[in-house]
Chains A and B, each alone.
Chain A
Amino acid sequence: MNDQPYIVEMEHITKTFPGVKALDDVQFRLKAGQVMALLGENGAGKSTLVKILSGVYTRNSGTMRLFGNTIEGDLTPKQAQELGISIIHQELNMCSHLTVCQNIFLGHEQTTGRLLDNKSMRSRAKEVLQSLDIDLDPDMLVGDLAVSKQQMVEIAKALQSNAKVLIMDEPTSALTSVEINQLFRLIKGLKEKGVGIIYISHRLEELQHIIDTVTIMRDGRFILEKPFPDLTMNQIIAHMVGREIKEKFPRIPAHQGKKLFSVQNLCAGPLVREINFDVYEGEILGFAGLMGAGRTEMTRAIFGVDPKDQGLITVNGTEVTINCPEDAIRHGLVLAPEDRKKDGICVKLSVRENIALPNLDLLCSKAGVVNRKKEAEMVNKAIKDLKIKLANAEVDASSLSGGNQQKVVVGKWLARNSKVVIFDEPTRGIDVAAKVEIYQLMNQLKESGIAVMFISSEMPEILGFSDRILVMCDGRITGELTRENATQEKILALATQFENKFENQVG
């Protein structure tokens, strides 16, 4: 391993964005056949660094040597690809109107003469997909695929170009465990072929299966590079945050009050079937389950985003009708949705506008004019309370890191006097320290007597933080566990309680 040559050497890399120094004198090295974890909090500069390596951004200063050759000047995405550097971006970047095959070959289409050679591209796409054990028709439209499948297409796209350096930015956040296993097998195969892999992830538990070496960054600076076996998880976390996180799940005792919110017999399509549950004042109710168990669909139905087939919703003892999100908000419900970029924030609007958006009724005079002063107070309070890291409130919400975007999504609701707050995967793709801040936020809500519904696919989080856990499978609630008797095994058993379809057909 150690005798392999360095294929990436970056030194003294500096990159500034307007108002922010994203990278400050950073170094990074990668050998052929090495799997390198690039770790750091959100906003530590990991994504910026790999974007410079893949030509998406240009560096302000510093030297870059790829495969032993010094790169003078700027690198374009195309040049980087030609050199053999492929990147799988954190946010899915696919053309939804094009087919799987067309996306895989986008930018390096095969041609005969001037004509697209669809036939050979299709057969090559099949080869790549089959070698990855991906069960997909190359002629499917990418827009029609589930997110996890799109992610696999993205991986196939990176691989078909015979990458020598493969960068994966949070590749597993949208994958199921089966697909993660596939991916790891794949990574091992690539490693044997001498491909250097840069692996960015916040899921530290995953790393042990595949990682050789770790590079840690913090606040745009290089902290250390060490072989993975020489570090403990706690050391890694400590280096990432620059301080020890004493309590991973800062739970506070619940003061369960009266029944605040209840759902009876809710049905909405095949993934929300006969849902019944109650949430009490001042408790955090966790929803566990596998991906596709219908938890997100349930929240969408409750919140009035998707139509309900039937069901009774009661807030504070009174039955309410929720046909659209506006109704839900009026009755004191709040939803922080799963897909931040799509449903959570308006990417072209500033942080200020995003926070003010759902609260305009509170901020406007009767004539509908926004009270600037009130708005500024609300926005400043939200930014301060949530410790959102930004240059000022006028920056685009999309320019923030994932964790800070999540805080904006949450923050915009806190100015209201809500009764029930639904968090759908609030910690997905954000780092440890930001997670703790989100937990603390949920604690604050809990203390102030709000009923919190907390959906998460991360077992430790659900176990560590919920007061009560409901497990869903295939659109049904398959069980309820109290905080004391919940274990990973029990949750998993309930989460895989699929209906026996064969039996159903007979009966």
Chain B
Amino acid sequence: MVTYIEKPFKRLMGIRGIGQVLTVTAGLVVLSVIFGIMNPIFFSSRNVANLLRQIAPILLIGIGQSYVLITGNIDLSIGSVVGMSTMISATLMTKGVNPWLAVLLTIVACLGVGLSNGLLVSFAKLPPFIATLGTMTIARGIAQIANNNYNTDSIGEAAQGLRDFFYYGKTFGLYNTIWIALVLWIIFNFILTRTKTGRHIYAIGSNAEAARLSGVNLVSTTTKAYLVSAFVSCVVGLITTATSGMGTMDAGNTYELYAVAASVIGGVSTLGGQGMLFGTVIGASIWGVLQNGLQFAGAPVAIRNIVIGIIVVISVLLDVIVRSGKSSRKKRTEASV
């Protein structure tokens, strides 16, 4: 007879993909130590603060992509929504709109893209790759048209408060950007792990038909995941505006793939049903540490790209190897019972 003692540790170890999360966490520590030894400045408080601020936007879009990947879909429109967010917010501000009103309008516009993604995928049943490829192109077009195919001028003095809020300001000694990422991570992690919506997101990624037959609303659940993705992309766009003080049309280009990388390195399965946002933190951090550390080491951008590509492949490969070993073992012990 099984004694039903609740063992939190056992339950934690039972989570699928936990092996990969732990492996890449160890990898992150090792990488940081190596970079730290190569160049002591790496661990200077100034660099750490900068590093965390670099990681924050990748983490944010990683959260969005993770949500969508766990439902078994993908969001290719993330980068374009970042660009759209930057261009709309900056254009409105240069036209003299109150910065916070501009932020609000930008969020509404970006959520519109998320809503379209969700409905196209879950209601119209388009393949997510195609649906979001379409909205990716459209959103980029909107970014370009926002200011008549020009980057915007400076958003000016009036927007200084906004620039501090999203990028330059500090609270309790940490850059606000980091706080924003942290707070949103806590909120979205909470939703994913502790609420019904979160449970349903895992369920439809694991077996959509089983979820539907159990009474889970596929349309609303999928749409919520895409809305989260659009929202965090929008926030990253606003951070970009605050950083440069203007809107550039190609902002956020290929960010959707960075987001996939951060999620996947962190153990989120592109097949759905599996992943945790803690892993996404690690994935985004590895990304940031590599960029930052290799830069210190004097590696050109091209080398950085190659290294990061290799890391993506290796981290997933490790998981595949570990899992295939596990499953054949499992099959044998199970059968012998």
Q: Which residues of A contact B (CB under 8 A)?
A: 56, 76-78, 81, 87, 89, 93-99, 102, 106-109, 111, 114-116, 122, 126, 135-141, 143-144, 146, 157, 269-271, 292, 294, 297, 306
Contacts and interface: CB of A to CB of B under 8 A. Distances in A.
Specify which of A96, A98, A138, A157 lies most central, judged by the most chain B CB atoms within 10 Å of its CB: A98
Contacts of A109: 196, 199
B46 interface: no
Contact of B203 (A106, A136, A137, A269): A106
Given A93-B213, A98-B199, 6 more contacts: A114-B196, A116-B196, A144-B334, A146-B335, A269-B335, A271-B336
Interface string B314-336: 00000000000000101010111
B336 A97 contact: no
Interface stretch (B77-85, B204-212, B297-305): B204-212
Contact of B205 (A97, A114, A126): A97
B14 A106 contact: no
A135 B4 CA distance: 10
A97 B206 CA distance: 6
A137 B2 contact: yes
B203 A98 contact: yes
Contacts of B334: 144, 146
A108 B1 CA distance: 28
Contacts of B335: 146, 269-271, 292, 294, 297
Given A137-B4, A270-B332, A271-B332, A77 B206 contact: no
B117 interface: no
Contact of A96 (B200, B206, B328): B206
Nearest to B272: A97
A433 B336 CA distance: 35
B202 A97 contact: yes
Interface string B165-196: 00000000000000000000000000000111
A141 B14 contact: yes
A107 B215 contact: yes
B210 to A, nearest CB: 4
Contacts of A99: 14
B267 interface: no
Contact of B199 (A81, A116, A126): A116
Nearest to A130: B4
B274 interface: yes
User: What bracket does the count of chain B residues touching chain A fall in?
Assistant: 35 or more
B203 A77 contact: no
A463 B336 CA distance: 26
B217 to A, nearest CB: 8
Given A95-B206, A271-B335, A135 B214 contact: no
Interface string B245-272: 0000000000000000000000000000
A95 B196 contact: no
Nearest to B275: A97
A107 B196 CA distance: 8
Contacts of A141: 14, 16
Contact of B213 (A89, A98, A297): A89
A77 B215 CA distance: 6
Nearest to B4: A126
Interface in B1-21: 1-2, 4, 6, 10-11, 14, 16
B64 interface: no
B99 interface: no
Which of A136, A141, A157, A269 has the most chain B CB within a 10 Å cutoff?
A269
B330 A94 contact: no
Contact of A93 (B16, B207, B328): B207
B10 A95 contact: no
Nearest to A293: B335
Contact of A269 (B205, B215, B274, B332): B332
Contacts of A271: 332, 335-336
14 contacts: A77-B212, A77-B214, A78-B217, A81-B215, A97-B274, A98-B199, A106-B200, A106-B203, A139-B14, A140-B14, A146-B335, A270-B332, A271-B335, A294-B335
Nearest to A114: B195
A115 B194 contact: yes
Contacts of B273: 95-98
A108 B336 contact: no
Contacts of B194: 115-116
A270 B336 contact: yes
User: Across chains A and B, which 9 residue pairs bring their CB atoms closest together, nearest first?
Assistant: A107-B214, A107-B215, A95-B206, A97-B273, A78-B215, A93-B210, A97-B206, A106-B214, A270-B336
A338 to B, nearest CB: 13
B281 interface: no
